[in-house]
Amino acid sequence: MPLQTPPLRGLHDEYGAKFTEFGGWDMPVEFESIRTEHAAVREGVGIFDVSHMGQLHVTGPDATELMQRLTSNDVSRLAVGDSQYATITDEDGIIIDDTVVYRLPDGDGNATDDADGDPTYLFVPNAGTDEATHQRWIDYRNEWDLEATVDNRTDEYAMFAVQGPEAVALVDDVTEESVADLERFEARYATIEGVDCWTARTGYTGEDGVELIVPWAAAEEIWTAFDCQPCGLGARDTLRIEAGLLLAGQDFHHDDDPRTPYEAGIGFTVALETEFVGRDALAEVHERGVEERLVGFQLIDRGVPRHGYDITNSEGRVIGTVTSGTMSPTVEQPIGLGYVPVEYAEPGTTLQVVVRGQSKKARVETTPFIDTV
Q: What is the CA radius of gyration of the chain?
A: 21
- From the list 203, 184, 189, 192, the residue with the least C-alpha distance to 226 is 192
Tell whether 193 is in a known binding site.
no
Q: Is the dihedral of CA 295, 69, 84, 130 positive or negative?
A: positive
Q: What are phi and psi of 141, to 5 degrees?
A: -55, -45
d(CA 252, CA 98) in angstroms, rounded, equals 10
**Longest Cα pair distance anywhere in the chain, in angstroms?**
65
Distance CA 133, CA 136 (A): 5
- Residue 334, preceding peptide bond in cis (omega within 30° of 0): no
Instruction: Report whether 236 contacts 257 (CB < 8 A).
Output: no
Q: Which residues contact 67 (CB under 8 A, 6 or more apart)?
A: 58, 75, 101, 121, 123
Show the 3-state SS of 229-290: EEECHHHHHHHHHHCCCCCECCCEECCCECCCCCCCCCHHHCCCCCCCCCHHHHHHHHHHCC
- How is 78-124 classified by DSSP, letter by letter? PPTTBEEEEEEE-TT--EEEEEEEEEEPTTTS-TT--TTS--EEEEE
The Cβ of residue 81 has, within 10 Å, a number of other Cβ atoms equal to 18
Contacts of 145 (CB under 8 A, 6+ apart): none
Distances (CA, A) of 218 to 7, 13, 102, 144, 212: 9, 18, 21, 38, 12
Q: Tell me the H-state helices in the chain.
A: 9-14, 34-43, 63-70, 130-144, 167-174, 219-224, 233-242, 279-288
Binding-site residues for substrate, please? 211
Binding-site residues, please? 211
